[in-house]
């Protein structure tokens, strides 16, 4: 069976500090991978998606970047966090475009 992991579960970081959130998927190969953010009181927003190693598509301009160094690893990064980067970050995977997405447990980021 497939499982998706995210870490850390919670993170408190000062403004201006770097960020690295990791997502890994087990039990499947060449999945589509997604990063979402859910700001407080708001809906989910797609940040990045990837259809393969090194292939990243960005949905919105922002202070964040994503990388996919391995088939089942997806990393969300920032060089300098902003207060507005606070939120709940969710990673998801799917078999491909048009397939159901499966979500990870999420990382709650607070930028202070």
Partner 1 sequence: KNEVEQSPQNLTAQEGEFITINCSYSVGISALHWLQQHPGGGIVSLFMLSSGKKKHGRLIATINIQEKHSSLHITASHPRDSAVYICAVRSGDMRFGAGTRLTVKP
| Contacts to partner 1 by CB under 8 A | 34, 38, 42-46, 49, 59, 88, 90, 98, 100-103, 105-106, 108
Angstrom distance (rounded) from CA 8 to CA 21: 7
Distance between CA atoms of 13 and 41, rounded to whole angstroms? 21
| Nearer residue to partner 1 within complex by CB, 49 or 74 | 49
CB of 75 to partner 1, least distance (A): 20
Residue 86 CB, nearest distance to partner 1 (Å)? 14
Q: Tell me how far, at minimum, the Cβ of 41 lies from partner 1, in Å.
A: 8
45 near 37, Cβ under 8 Å? yes
CB contact set of 24 (below 8 Å; sequence gap of 6+): 4, 5, 72, 73, 74
- What's the min distance (Å) between Cβ of 39 and partner 1? 11
Phi, then psi, of 83 in degrees rounded to 5: -55, -35
Of 10 and 70, nearer to partner 1 (C-beta) is 10
Cβ-based nearer residue to partner 1, 45 or 67: 45
């Amino acid at each position: 069976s497939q499982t998706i992991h995210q870490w850390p579960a919670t993170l408190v970081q000062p403004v201006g500090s770097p960020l690295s959130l990791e997502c890994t998927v087990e039990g499947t190969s060449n999945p589509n991978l997604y990063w979402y953010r859910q700001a407080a009181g708001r809906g989910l927003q797609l940040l990045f998606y990837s259809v393969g190693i090194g292939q990243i598509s960005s949905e919105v301009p922002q202070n964040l970047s994503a990388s996919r160094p391995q088939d089942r690893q997806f990393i969300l990064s920032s060089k300098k966090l902003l207060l507005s980067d606070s939120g709940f970050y969710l990673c998801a995977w799917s078999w491909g475009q048009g397939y159901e997405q499966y979500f990870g447990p999420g990382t709650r980021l607070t930028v202070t």
